[in-house]
Chains A and B, each alone.
Chain A
Amino acid sequence: MEPRLNDTLHAMLTDFGFLKSELILASGIMVLVIVGLFKPRAAVLHLIALAFLLITSIAAYVNVGYEPRLLFGGIVRSGGSFSDFFKLLFASGGALTVAMTWRGEQQRRLSEYYALLLAVILGANFLVMSENLLVLFLSLELVSISSYVLTGFSFEKKSSEGSLKYFLFGSVASAVMLYGFTIMYGLFGTLNYPDFQLPSVDSSQLYFIAAVLSLAGFLYKIAAAPLHPWAPDVYQAAPMPIVAFFSVVPKLAGVGILLKFSQLTRLPITDLKLMLAGVAILTLTVGNFAALWQKNVKRLMAYSSIGQSGFLLVGIVSGSTQSAEFLLFYSTVYLILTFLIFFYVQKFEMAGATTIADYAGIGRTYAFAGVMMLIGFIALTGLPPTAGFTGKLFLFSALWESYTTSDEGILLALLIFGLLNTVVSLFYYLRIPYFTFIQKGETTPAQNNLTFENLLCLILVLAVLVLFFSPGLLMGWINKTNFAF
Chain B
Amino acid sequence: MQQYLISFLIFIPLVAAFAGIAIPSSFKRAFRILSIGVSILQLILICLSFGDYNPEAGLQFIEKHPWITLDLGTWGTLKAEYFVALDGLSFPLVLLSVFILLIATISSWTIDHNVKGYFLLLLLLNAAIIGTFTALDFLIFYLFFEFMLLPMFFLIAIWGGARREYASIKFFLYTLVGSIFILIVMIALYLSVHEQGMNEGIVHSFNLLNMTDANHFIPESILHPGNPWSLGIWNAREWAFLLLFIGFAIKLPMVPFHTWLPDAHVEAPTPVSVILAAVLLKIGGYGLARIAIPIFPEAALHFSMFVGIMGVVSIIYGALNAMASTDLKRLIAYSSVSHMGFVLLGLASVTQEGIAGALYQMFGHGLISAMLFILVGVLYDRTHDRTISNYSGLATRMKTYTAFVLIAFFASMGLPGFAGFIAEILVFLGAFKAPTANGVLHESLAVLATGGLVLGAAYYLWTLQRMFFGPFNVKGGIDEASLTDVDLRERLMLIPLALLTFFFGVYPQPVLNLIDGFAKQLHELVMTAGTALTIIP
Tell me if A470 is interfacial: C-beta within 8 Å of chain B.
yes
Q: Which of A400, A422, A438, A470 contacts B188 (CB 8 A)?
A: A400
Q: Decide: A437 and B183 in contact? CB cutoff 8 A.
A: no
**Chain B residues, Cβ within 8 Å of A378:** 150
Tell me if B177 is interfacial: C-beta within 8 Å of chain A.
yes
Beyond A384-B146, A430-B169, whether A419 also contacts B70 by CB under 8 A is: no
Beyond A396-B187, A434-B165, whether A475 also contacts B70 by CB under 8 A is: yes
Q: Which residue of A lies closest to B69 (CB)?
A: A472
Nearest CB on A from B345, distance (A): 30
Tell me if A385 is interfacial: C-beta within 8 Å of chain B.
yes
Nearest CB on B from A484, distance (A): 13
Which of the segments B45-53, B71-79, B309-317, B373-381 contacts the partner chain?
A: B71-79
Nearest CB on B from A393, distance (A): 7
CA distance A342 to B154 in the complex (A): 24
Chain B positions 176-218 with a Cβ under 8 Å from a chain A Cβ: 176-177, 180, 183-184, 187-188, 190-191
Nearest CB on A from B264, distance (A): 15
CA distance A384 to B177 in the complex (A): 15
Tell me if A471 is interfacial: C-beta within 8 Å of chain B.
yes
Q: Which residue of A lies closest to B227 (CB)?
A: A404
A-B contact pairs, 11 of them (CB 8 A): A321-B73, A322-B74, A384-B147, A396-B183, A400-B222, A404-B221, A426-B176, A437-B158, A471-B68, A476-B71, A479-B72
**Chain B residues, Cβ within 8 Å of A471:** 68, 70
Nearest CB on A from B260, distance (A): 13
Q: Decide: B191 and A423 in contact? CB cutoff 8 A.
A: no
Tell me if A397 is interfacial: C-beta within 8 Å of chain B.
yes
Chain A positions 383-435 with a Cβ under 8 Å from a chain B Cβ: 383-385, 389, 393, 396-397, 400-401, 404, 415-416, 419-420, 422-423, 426-427, 430, 434
Tell me if A's interface is mostly helix, strand, loop or mixed: helix
Tell me if B19 is interfacial: C-beta within 8 Å of chain A.
no
Nearest CB on A from B161, distance (A): 13
Nearest CB on B from A209, distance (A): 33
Q: Decide: A420 and B180 in contact? CB cutoff 8 A.
A: yes
Query: Residues of B with Cβ closer than 8 Å to A?
Result: 67-75, 142-143, 146-147, 149-150, 153-154, 157-158, 164-165, 169, 172-173, 176-177, 180, 183-184, 187-188, 190-191, 221-222
Q: Decide: B184 and A385 in contact? CB cutoff 8 A.
A: no
Q: Which of B169, B183, B222 contacts A419 (CB 8 A)?
A: B183
Beyond A426-B176, A470-B68, whether A404 also contacts B142 by CB under 8 A is: no
Q: Decide: A397 and B191 in contact? CB cutoff 8 A.
A: yes
Q: Please report the total number of A residues contacting B with Cβ < 8 Å.
A: 33
Q: Decide: B72 and A400 in contact? CB cutoff 8 A.
A: no
Q: Decide: A438 and B165 in contact? CB cutoff 8 A.
A: yes
Q: Decide: A438 and B157 in contact? CB cutoff 8 A.
A: yes
Q: Decide: B150 and A384 in contact? CB cutoff 8 A.
A: no
Q: Decide: A476 and B187 in contact? CB cutoff 8 A.
A: no
Q: Which of B70, B147, B157, B191 contacts A434 (CB 8 A)?
A: B157
**Chain B residues, Cβ within 8 Å of A427:** 169, 173
Contact with B along A454-485 (1 / 0, CB 8 A): 00000000000000011110011001000000
CA distance A476 to B184 in the complex (A): 25
**Chain A residues, Cβ within 8 Å of B71:** 476, 479
**Smallest CB-CB A-B distances: 8 pairs:** A384-B143, A419-B180, A404-B222, A423-B176, A384-B146, A438-B157, A322-B75, A397-B187
Nearest CB on A from B302, distance (A): 22
**Chain B residues, Cβ within 8 Å of A423:** 173, 176-177, 180
Beyond A427-B169, A430-B169, whether A383 also contacts B146 by CB under 8 A is: yes
**Chain A residues, Cβ within 8 Å of B143:** 384-385
Nearest CB on A from B25, distance (A): 9
Q: Which of B142, B147, B172, B187 contacts A426 (CB 8 A)?
A: B172
**Chain A residues, Cβ within 8 Å of B154:** 437-438
Q: Decide: B184 and A430 in contact? CB cutoff 8 A.
A: no
**Chain A residues, Cβ within 8 Å of B75:** 322, 401
**Chain A residues, Cβ within 8 Å of B165:** 434, 438
Q: Decide: B173 and A393 in contact? CB cutoff 8 A.
A: no
Q: Decide: A400 and B157 in contact? CB cutoff 8 A.
A: no
Most A CB contacts (10 A, CB to CB) among B70, B71, B190, B191 go to B70
Q: Decide: A400 and B169 in contact? CB cutoff 8 A.
A: no
Chain A positions 371-388 with a Cβ under 8 Å from a chain B Cβ: 378, 383-385
Q: Which residue of B lies closest to A421 (CB)?
A: B180
**Chain A residues, Cβ within 8 Å of B183:** 393, 396, 419
Q: Decide: B191 and A472 in contact? CB cutoff 8 A.
A: no
Nearest CB on B from A130, distance (A): 26
Q: Which residue of A lies closest to B178 (CB)?
A: A423
**Chain A residues, Cβ within 8 Å of B67:** 469
**Chain A residues, Cβ within 8 Å of B157:** 434, 438
Q: Decide: A422 and B180 in contact? CB cutoff 8 A.
A: yes
User: What 5 additional pairs, Cβ within 8 angstroms, besides A415-B184, A472-B69?
Assistant: A321-B73, A400-B222, A404-B191, A422-B176, A437-B154
Q: Which residue of A lies closest to B144 (CB)?
A: A384
**Chain B residues, Cβ within 8 Å of A401:** 75, 191
CA distance A434 to B75 in the complex (A): 40
Nearest CB on A from B14, distance (A): 11
**Chain B residues, Cβ within 8 Å of A322:** 72-75
**Chain A residues, Cβ within 8 Å of B74:** 321-322
CA distance A419 to B243 in the complex (A): 13
Q: Decide: A479 and B187 in contact? CB cutoff 8 A.
A: no
**Chain A residues, Cβ within 8 Å of B70:** 471-472, 475-476, 479
Q: Decide: B68 and A472 in contact? CB cutoff 8 A.
A: yes
Beyond A438-B158, A471-B68, whether A430 also contacts B147 by CB under 8 A is: no
Nearest CB on A from B404, distance (A): 34
Nearest CB on A from B491, distance (A): 34
Q: Which residue of A lies closest to B153 (CB)?
A: A430
Nearest CB on B from A156, distance (A): 36
Nearest CB on B from A30, distance (A): 42
Beyond A420-B180, A423-B176, whether A479 also contacts B169 by CB under 8 A is: no
CA distance A69 to B194 in the complex (A): 38
CA distance A483 to B506 in the complex (A): 67
CA distance A456 to B146 in the complex (A): 27
**Chain A residues, Cβ within 8 Å of B221:** 404
**Chain B residues, Cβ within 8 Å of A415:** 184
**Chain A residues, Cβ within 8 Å of B187:** 393, 396-397, 400
CA distance A416 to B188 in the complex (A): 13
Q: Which residue of A lies closest to B192 (CB)?
A: A404
Nearest CB on A from B12, distance (A): 18
Q: Which residue of B lies closest to A322 (CB)?
A: B75
CA distance A46 to B147 in the complex (A): 40
CA distance A357 to B402 in the complex (A): 46
Nearest CB on A from B119, distance (A): 16
**Chain A residues, Cβ within 8 Å of B158:** 437-438
CA distance A396 to B190 in the complex (A): 12
Q: Decide: A479 and B68 in contact? CB cutoff 8 A.
A: no
**Chain B residues, Cβ within 8 Å of A385:** 143, 147
**Chain B residues, Cβ within 8 Å of A384:** 142-143, 146-147
CA distance A66 to B188 in the complex (A): 36
Q: Which of A396, A397, A430 contacts B172 (CB 8 A)?
A: A430
Q: Which of B142, B176, B191 contacts A400 (CB 8 A)?
A: B191
Nearest CB on A from B243, distance (A): 10
CA distance A469 to B147 in the complex (A): 14
Q: Decide: B184 and A419 in contact? CB cutoff 8 A.
A: yes
**Chain B residues, Cβ within 8 Å of A479:** 70-73
Nearest CB on B from A210, distance (A): 31
CA distance A384 to B176 in the complex (A): 12
Q: Which residue of A lies closest to B140 (CB)?
A: A384
**Chain B residues, Cβ within 8 Å of A397:** 187, 190-191
CA distance A400 to B236 in the complex (A): 13
CA distance A389 to B158 in the complex (A): 26
**Chain A residues, Cβ within 8 Å of B177:** 420, 423
**Chain B residues, Cβ within 8 Å of A472:** 68-70
Most B CB contacts (10 A, CB to CB) among A322, A325, A423 go to A423
CA distance A393 to B206 in the complex (A): 13
CA distance A404 to B74 in the complex (A): 16
